[in-house]
Amino acid sequence: MTVTKWNVRAGAYYDSVVLMQLQRGLLELSGVVDAGVVMATQANRDLLAANNLLPDSISANPDDLLIVVKAEAEDSAIEAIGKVDELLARRKSSAVSQDFRPRSLSSAVKQLPEANWVLISVPGRYAAGVAREALDLGKHVFLYSDNVSLEDEIALKKTAREKGLLVMGPDCGTAIINGIGLGFANRVRRGAIGLVGASGTGTQAVTAQIHNMGAGVSHAIGTGGRDLKSDIGAITAHQALDLLAHDDETKVIVLVSKPPSPDVATQLISAAQSTGKPVVIYFIGYPPPARKIGNLHFAISLSEAAEIAVNSNWELVSGNKLPITNYYLRGLFSGGTLAYETMVGLQATLSPLYSNSAISDSQILSDPLHSQAHTIIDLGDEFFMVGRLHPMIDNDLRIRRMKQEASDPEVGMILLDVVLGEGSHADPASELAPVIKEIIEERAGKLEIVAIVIGTDDDPQNLQSQVDQLKEAGVTVFRTATEAVEYISLRFGSHTPSEYSPVNLEQLKQPLAAINVGLESFYESLTLQGAQAVHVEWRPPASGNDKLAALLEKMKNKK
């Protein structure tokens, strides 16, 4: 038989290190079998219950501290609970002398004026306020805290962008700036590979492997996991890409994130293209559009991202044609799979993209007979097929649609597949080429036709003659969808220059000096790495009493 005793402390703020140490202290007491020290949120109460540490009929609010002790006998349990204050006090006295420690961000800045960074790891509900203060003081922010609202994140990042400052986070676990790790970071040698990471352990895995392979890291810039969602629009990732593009030490860039929102992905990929540097992209769980599109390389694992970056030795060929901007692509396919594979490839760079053979619901073309924006049509879809021969046999449907698309002045490129072999039309190019020639002449210089020709030299149509007829009509011919996808992605790739203040690169190159607000271990880690740092002895407004804090704020504003 064991006995469980508990203690509830209403609405006071405790550092999570203090809570951990209190729990450990209780566990060391004689007769104590188990102990739990948590903020009494539903999740934490459920966790206690799962460990048989939640007494029946306990009453506590989510911002109350809940201390539970399970002991072999009643007196041990009571004794343990009685020692809580003593244990909390012991923790305090064992800490470094706090006399020299500032209690506010502004006084910390006076103590270390050269600080260019503020690390924030206070509880989520206070974190945005501290970050705002840091930005007002002209500092970059590393925001480790989670449970920060989306609204706060948007506001902070917009403010930062206007000031040419970075907000890495919220929920940013990892960064390496100028050789110094912030938050959780592996020790890696300095080198030519720069990272933009929307994921903490992703950045750790890649940087560690780069080091283990003998290469090194210039900077690893964290963005926080939500940065690449539509609401935020990848503000930090765009700043970071721009920064690394202009940093001479960075020769290769790695971009790691969970799958971004489609519109954000397109913009980021476009920005990555215009860095002009090799960029390795790994969107975890997102089908890679290709192995390679110009200067972009797509990886399928963290490990592969590191390998590609380290072994990057790419010749970068810059396009010799002006990109097709403000025009749309219309793909008219006879092969469903070729249409689908092309969609998978182009959805990363062309947005918005629609299809009657859509990959995601947002891509569904409402009327298969009328294209909109970039469109890929599978003309062999059942919808078109009632009583009609397949478009690989009968070219009528495709020729009509091709004329329809060409008459749309917004269309800059038409993509076709021409599938040869048994069963297909005996000479498709003879029917397609004259129409293509006519269309290209009519739209003088404003319309490009690209074709993917699938076939072998044994096919009954004469592969070479098919290719020749198409080329003679002005068609750019590829033999695989992969090659066509790379070509089209580069043709539509556009450089959209940033309209915001760039982040100050010179400041980034200064030795890192930082002010730490929150977890003391992050401060210790900074000093161990040789960085100048100051730790703020932070306490929430009114010691975490929200009502009192609101009252104080009101009085302050009245002055």
Rounded-to-integer distance, Cα 369 and Cα 267, Å: 29
Dig out the tokens for 126 from the structure: 């206070």
Residue with tokens 């890409």: 241
Q: Which of 73, 150, 369, 548 binds its own copies (CB under 8 A)?
A: 369
> What is the largest distance, in Å, between two alpha-carbon atoms of the chain?
98
Q: Binding of its own copies at residue 50 (CB under 8 A)?
A: yes
Rounded-to-integer distance, Cα 97 and Cα 136, Å: 29
Number of residues that bind its own copies (CB under 8 A): 113
Dig out the tokens for 177 from the structure: 């700036």
Instruction: For its own copies, give the closer residue by CB, 56 or 422.
Output: 422
Q: Binding of its own copies at residue 343 (CB under 8 A)?
A: yes
Q: Binding of its own copies at residue 456 (CB under 8 A)?
A: yes
Of residues 414 through 453, those in contact with its own copies by CB under 8 A are 417, 419-424
Instruction: For its own copies, give the closer residue by CB, 162 or 396.
Output: 396
Instruction: For its own copies, give the closer residue by CB, 74 or 307.
Output: 307
The answer to whether 435 touches 402, Cβ cutoff 8 Å, is: yes
Least distance between its own copies and beta carbon 93 (Å): 21
Q: Binding of its own copies at residue 482 (CB under 8 A)?
A: yes
Q: Binding of its own copies at residue 58 (CB under 8 A)?
A: no
Rounded-to-integer distance, Cα 431 and Cα 447, Å: 19
Q: Which of 22, 39, 252, 264 binds its own copies (CB under 8 A)?
A: 39
Q: Binding of its own copies at residue 51 (CB under 8 A)?
A: yes
Q: Binding of its own copies at residue 311 (CB under 8 A)?
A: no
Rounded-to-integer distance, Cα 71 and Cα 73, Å: 5
Q: Which of 260, 368, 412, 493 binds its own copies (CB under 8 A)?
A: 368
Q: Which of 435, 444, 359 is nearest to 404 (CA)?
A: 435
Only segment of 78-86, 318-326, 379-387, 547-555 that touches its own copies (CB under 8 A): 379-387
User: 438 — phi, psi (to 5°)?
Assistant: -60, -45
Q: Binding of its own copies at residue 304 (CB under 8 A)?
A: yes
Q: Which of 43, 316, 322, 555 binds its own copies (CB under 8 A)?
A: 43
Only segment of 92-100, 231-239, 323-331, 367-375 that touches its own copies (CB under 8 A): 367-375
Instruction: For its own copies, give the closer residue by CB, 372 or 504.
Output: 372
- Strand 190-197 versus strand 65-71 pairing type: unpaired
Least distance between its own copies and beta carbon 197 (Å): 8
Instruction: For its own copies, give the closer residue by CB, 141 or 245.
Output: 141
State the binding string over 197-216 for its own copies (x if CB under 8 A, else -).
--xxxxxxx--xx-xx----
Of residues 220 through 249, those in contact with its own copies by CB under 8 A are 225
Render the burial of 152-190: b for 16+ CB within 10 Å, e for the rest.
bbeebbeebbebbbbbbbbbbbbbbbbbbbbbbbbebee
Least distance between its own copies and beta carbon 99 (Å): 26
Only segment of 37-45, 439-447, 465-473, 537-545 that touches its own copies (CB under 8 A): 37-45
Rounded-to-integer distance, Cα 392 and Cα 379, Å: 9
Rounded-to-integer distance, Cα 32 and Cα 4, Å: 10
197, β-bridge pairs: 222, 256
Only segment of 287-295, 312-320, 492-500, 543-551 that touches its own copies (CB under 8 A): 287-295
Only segment of 71-79, 85-93, 196-204, 533-541 that touches its own copies (CB under 8 A): 196-204
Q: Binding of its own copies at residue 29 (CB under 8 A)?
A: no
Q: Which of 104, 184, 471, 527 binds its own copies (CB under 8 A)?
A: 184
Based on the number of CB atoms within 10 Å of its own CB, is 141 exposed (0-12), middle (13-18) or buried (19 or more)?
A: buried
C-alpha distances in angstroms, 456 versus 252, 340, 429, 450, 460? 39, 22, 15, 19, 9
Q: Which of 191, 262, 335, 428 binds its own copies (CB under 8 A)?
A: 335
Least distance between its own copies and beta carbon 460 (Å): 7
Rounded-to-integer distance, Cα 128 and Cα 123, Å: 10
CB atoms within 10 A of CB 431: 16
Q: Binding of its own copies at residue 394 (CB under 8 A)?
A: yes
DSSP symbol at 364 = B
Of residues 79 through 108, those in contact with its own copies by CB under 8 A are none
